[in-house]
Structure 1
Amino acid sequence: MVKLATLSVKTKLTGTAMLLTTLLSGCASTIDQSQHQQELQRLINEAQIAPQLAGQDEVNWWQKLHSSQLNQLVNDALANNHNLHSSQLQLQSALARLGSQKAQFLPQGGTEINASRNDIVDNNSRQLSANLALDWQLDLFGRISALVDAANASAMSRAEQLRLLQIEVVSSVVKGFVSYQGNKQKQQIVELQVEALQQSIEVLQARVDEGIANELDLNRTRAQLSQQQALLPEIAYAQYSDLTALAVLTGRLSSALVLQDEQKVFDLPFNLTLAQPANAIALRPDISQALFDFSEANSLSVSASKALLPEVSLSAFAGVLSLGSYGLADTQGQWEVAPQIKWSLLSYPALLAQRDAQQYLSEAAYSDYQQVVLNAISESELALQLLVKENEQQQYAQQRYKYANNAFLQAEAMYQEGQIPYLELLNARQDILIAQENSVDSTISTLLAKVNAYQAFNGRWSYALANL
């Protein structure tokens, strides 16, 4: 990492030495963002993160699932999410503050019109005056410029915060939709399992009544049935939870949101590809926001240093005065131009303390930026490792279901031929139920891991959202 440039000025310097030192060392109120971007790119390139994922552009990556419902949910969330709306208003407020700060470069002042009448011992007097007063603070030492730079960095930070929230909203919508469809699939599977067990119980009950089977087989099958039936309320609650989360994200009540089954999202190919993996990390909004926060703190530090210098301003006054009437027929003109220099020498201890405090905050902001960079790189690497893990587990889960299904078919044939007792067939059925549920869970987790990876490598596709 590039070391933070030393911005502090020794507190013991006074007088001319203080003025000269400040002029020489505090000229730039903005950081060199291009330098930090280059350093970040070098760091990412050295880390060799996800070069194998280079391929198709990831912009609008959720459209690879080919779900019109999902696309509409994403559009609704971007248009109606209340948190996004609040963040957009905060950005507008920051831009307005930036405009207000830029206005400080211009002369300030206004007009004033006064009319008065006095009556002292039958002596009446009238007076009318109209004045125009201006005060122009000259930015000779760059204090106002530093404050403008700080306001600009603050506005840019708000913009990155909005982009960060857009990433969270889009990713949460996709995850909620995938989870909802996954729970729908699990519900269908469990319902089929319950139906098959109920049919088995009917057959077993008839055989028990005929004395061919025993109560043990029947009770074990009923226990399996209750175990599967107990899953249905949990799955129903999970579906409702997913639906509620999607409703909140899209700015509506859950009762107003109806989703259709789309099991195809688990069957279509959904590969993780990135047009530029390095930029997908380098352009992340959390990194950019931390850099703008550092830039704002640095500009405020420079402004605090400039406060040690004299303030030079130019005041101007022009007006007319009418005595004896409220009209302007008989007036006297007056004007004044007064340059002013104000230097708060007696406030130096307080100003020095404020400058030192802001410089510490600037150094802290740079440290925060470094931490955000490390967190972003680690999060990206961890997202890839999670995807590798889920892919491997999905393969094993599918193999497990394949073998469990073969074993059940074999056990069923052997039971029909009288080679094994019913309990062994029941155990084989239990194995395939567990394997099937595990396979479905693994498929859902793998798809969610891909969504999580797109969320981590968000730099490029989030910029596309911000430019809509």
Structure 2
Amino acid sequence: MNSNKLRITAVLVAGLLAGCASKIDEQQHQSQLQEFVAQTQIASQLVGQDELNWWQQLDSSQLNNLVANARANNHDLRTSQLKLKSALARLGGQKAQYLPQGGVGIEATRSSLGELNTRQSAANANFDWQLDLFGKVTALVNASNAGAMSQAEQVRALHIEVVASVVKGFVSYQGNKQKQHIIELQIEALKQSIGVLRAQVEEGIANELDLNRTLAQLKRQQALLPDIKYAQFRDLATLAMLSGLLPSDITLIDERSVLERGFTVSLAKPSDAIALRPDISQALFEFSQAHSLSVAASKALLPDISLSAFAGVLSLDNNRLSDTQQQWQVAPQIKWSLLSYPALLAQRDAQQYLSEAAYSQYQHVVLNAMSESELSLQLLVKQSQQQDYAKQRFDFANSAFLQAQAMYQEGQIPYLELLDARQDVLIAQENAIDSTISSLLAKVDTYQVFNGRWSYVLVN
């Protein structure tokens, strides 16, 4: 990992040096990062079909509607989108600083001093033009633009979070419905066994120990139902919150078959899926913004050159702008805050440190994305293996139970051994369902981590 860190740092520094003169070249940084990630071959084993709209693999119109509604109505997403509009408006205001600023005015006055009455009217236009000879205004525009782009990446990150959370909530809900169904079947089977045992106890064929052990197993299964029902409500509450609703406003139909549908992880370009992640892009734009502000702080050490102008007409002895006299004025101006140099130098140094801090944060985000990607792949493999073992365990436990049932009916084993075999198959069955759910969620996590391409297309 240390060698990877050194190589990533070298790639990022090259991009920094290329853009440090006035503006960070974000596209150059992204291109270099894409080339580097492609060389690492992360997730090369997942190359295949395009991952766009990956959740539609589950073939559930109910899930598709949930995703669409959440994207349209999620309050966090709407808040972030409004902040983006605000950032774009500020960018427009900053770009307006390239143009002359000023206004027009019309006034009429009438005054009296003793018996002397005077009237006067005037109309004028004035403007002040800050000449961007040294690039200060440009640096501030670049900073504002980077801030808006950073906010846009925040919107994209929220889209990822909303989509992934909806899919996870839906899978979890359907998984809990499946677990409830299995528990209810086991409860029904145990009740039937208890009915038979009671009759056998009364006839003296079975003993109270067998009956009490079966009753204890029944109560264990019944005790699981409140937890399962609460988990279902929790899933509904999560989905409702994501869609801007209350839990009572959302209803899901039983679609347990979604757990058995084909759902694989496939990426068209794993390198782009990492390098185009919004957290990396956001960190890059935040670095670009800090760098541009640092440039602007350096430009503040140079003189400000502006051009002021005034033009108007003045009318004496009337309020109707008649018999006017023209007047105008042009005033070039140079201001240099020489006495404020210590304060300006301190501000420049402070902003440069902030720029370095933003760059360090950018490096951290890149390294974290690489590590997170590798961890998600390891989790995917682990859950897949555990799911296979859990299914095999259930198959063996179920076969053992069927054998024990046959042997008990032939009188070869006591009832307690049959009960132990039933307990084994119950535990194995619950474990198999949990493994299936965990495997599905691991696949969703992988798509959530490798989000660069599908999220970019999703919001564009």
Structure 1 and Structure 2 fold alike (TM over 0.5)? yes
1:39 deviates by: 3.0
1:212 deviates by: 1.0
Equivalent runs, 1:206-221 vs 2, <5 Å:
206-221=199-214
2:43 to 36, 50, 57: 50
The yes-or-no answer on 1:61 pairing with 2:59 is: no
Measured in 1, the distance between the counterparts of 2:311 and 2:267 equals 66
1:330 deviates by: 1.4
Q: Which residue of 2 aligns with 1:154?
A: 147
Task: Tell me the SS of whatever aligns to 2:328.
Answer: strand
Which amino acid in 2 is paired with 1:421? P
Measured in 1, the distance between the counterparts of 2:81 and 2:95 equals 21
Q: Which residue of 1 aligns with 2:3?
A: none
Which amino acid in 2 is paired with 1:238? A
Measured in 1, the distance between the counterparts of 2:333 and 2:21 equals 26
Q: Is the 8 A contact 1:126 1:326 kept in 2?
A: yes
Q: Is the 8 A contact 1:201 1:222 kept in 2?
A: yes
Q: Which residue of 1 aligns with 2:261?
A: 268
Measured in 2, the distance between the counterparts of 1:466 and 1:331 equals 59
1:4 deviates by: 4.8
**More off after superposition, 234-243 vs 81-90:** 81-90
Which amino acid in 2 is paired with 1:280? A
Unaligned runs of 5+ in 1: 9-24
1:430 to 405, 416, 423: 423
The yes-or-no answer on 1:361 pairing with 2:357 is: no
Percent identity, please: 70
Task: Tell me the SS of whatever aligns to 1:83.
Answer: helix
1:112 deviates by: 1.4
Measured in 2, the distance between the counterparts of 1:282 and 1:325 equals 71
Task: Tell me the SS of whatever aligns to 2:267.
Answer: coil
Q: Which residue of 2 aligns with 1:31?
A: 24
1:82 deviates by: 0.9
The yes-or-no answer on 1:258 pairing with 2:251 is: yes
Which amino acid in 2 is paired with 1:92? K
Deviations 1:194-242 (A, max 9, x none): 1111111111011111111111010000000010000000000000000
Which amino acid in 1 is paired with 2:26? Q
Task: Tell me the SS of whatever aligns to 1:230.
Answer: helix
1:174 to 143, 167, 170: 167
Q: Which residue of 2 aligns with 1:351?
A: 344
1:26 deviates by: 10
Q: Which residue of 2 aligns with 1:103?
A: 96
Deviations 1:101-132 (A, max 9, x none): 00000000001122222211211111111111
Measured in 2, the distance between the counterparts of 1:435 and 1:52 equals 31
Measured in 2, the distance between the counterparts of 1:333 and 1:34 equals 54
Task: Tell me the SS of whatever aligns to 1:131.
Answer: strand
Equivalent runs, 1:275-294 vs 2, <5 Å:
275-294=268-287
Q: Which residue of 2 aligns with 1:419?
A: 412
The yes-or-no answer on 1:78 pairing with 2:71 is: yes
The yes-or-no answer on 1:236 pairing with 2:247 is: no
Q: Is the 8 A contact 1:4 1:363 kept in 2?
A: no
Measured in 1, the distance between the counterparts of 2:384 and 2:79 equals 38
Deviations 1:21-68 (A, max 9, x none): xxxx99843112233223312431332200011000000000000000
Q: Normalising to structure 1: TM-score of the pair?
A: 0.94
1:277 deviates by: 0.8
Measured in 1, the distance between the counterparts of 2:52 and 2:16 equals 41
RMSD of Structure 2 on Structure 1 (CA) = 1.6
Q: Is the 8 A contact 1:266 1:443 kept in 2?
A: yes
Q: Is the 8 A contact 1:132 1:319 kept in 2?
A: yes
Which amino acid in 1 is paired with 2:245? R
Measured in 2, the distance between the counterparts of 1:6 and 1:139 equals 26
Task: Tell me the SS of whatever aligns to 2:301.
Answer: coil
The yes-or-no answer on 1:444 pairing with 2:437 is: yes
Q: Is the 8 A contact 2:200 2:206 kept in 1?
A: yes
Which amino acid in 2 is paired with 1:375? N
Measured in 1, the distance between the counterparts of 2:315 and 2:117 equals 14
**More off after superposition, 313-322 vs 33-42:** 33-42
Deviations 1:107-164 (A, max 9, x none): 0000112222221121111111111111000000000000000000001001100000
Q: Which residue of 1 aligns with 2:389?
A: 396
Q: Which residue of 2 aligns with 1:164?
A: 157
Q: Is the 8 A contact 1:281 1:459 kept in 2?
A: yes
Q: Which residue of 2 aligns with 1:135?
A: 128
Which amino acid in 2 is paired with 1:456? V
1:5 deviates by: 8.2
Unaligned runs of 5+ in 2: 1-8
1:308 deviates by: 0.3
The yes-or-no answer on 1:115 pairing with 2:86 is: no
CA 185–76 in structure 1, closer or farther in 2 if over 3 Å, else same: same
1:6 deviates by: 12
Q: Which residue of 1 aligns with 2:4?
A: none
Q: Is the 8 A contact 2:43 2:270 kept in 1?
A: yes
Measured in 1, the distance between the counterparts of 2:25 and 2:125 equals 43
Q: Which residue of 1 aligns with 2:5?
A: none
Measured in 2, the distance between the counterparts of 1:430 and 1:329 equals 106
Q: Is the 8 A contact 2:160 2:451 kept in 1?
A: yes
Measured in 1, the distance between the counterparts of 2:30 and 2:103 equals 45
Measured in 2, the distance between the counterparts of 1:40 and 1:175 equals 30
Which amino acid in 1 is paired with 2:193? S
Q: Is the 8 A contact 1:26 1:305 kept in 2?
A: no
Q: Is the 8 A contact 1:279 1:459 kept in 2?
A: yes
Which amino acid in 2 is paired with 1:119? S
Instruction: Spell out structure 1 runs of 4+ moving beyond 3 A.
Output: 2-8, 25-28
Which amino acid in 2 is paired with 1:427? D
Which amino acid in 1 is paired with 2:93? S
1:7 deviates by: 10
Q: Is the 8 A contact 2:19 2:25 kept in 1?
A: no
CA 399–304 in structure 1, closer or farther in 2 if over 3 Å, else same: same
1:314 to 303, 307, 311: 307
Q: Is the 8 A contact 2:132 2:138 kept in 1?
A: yes
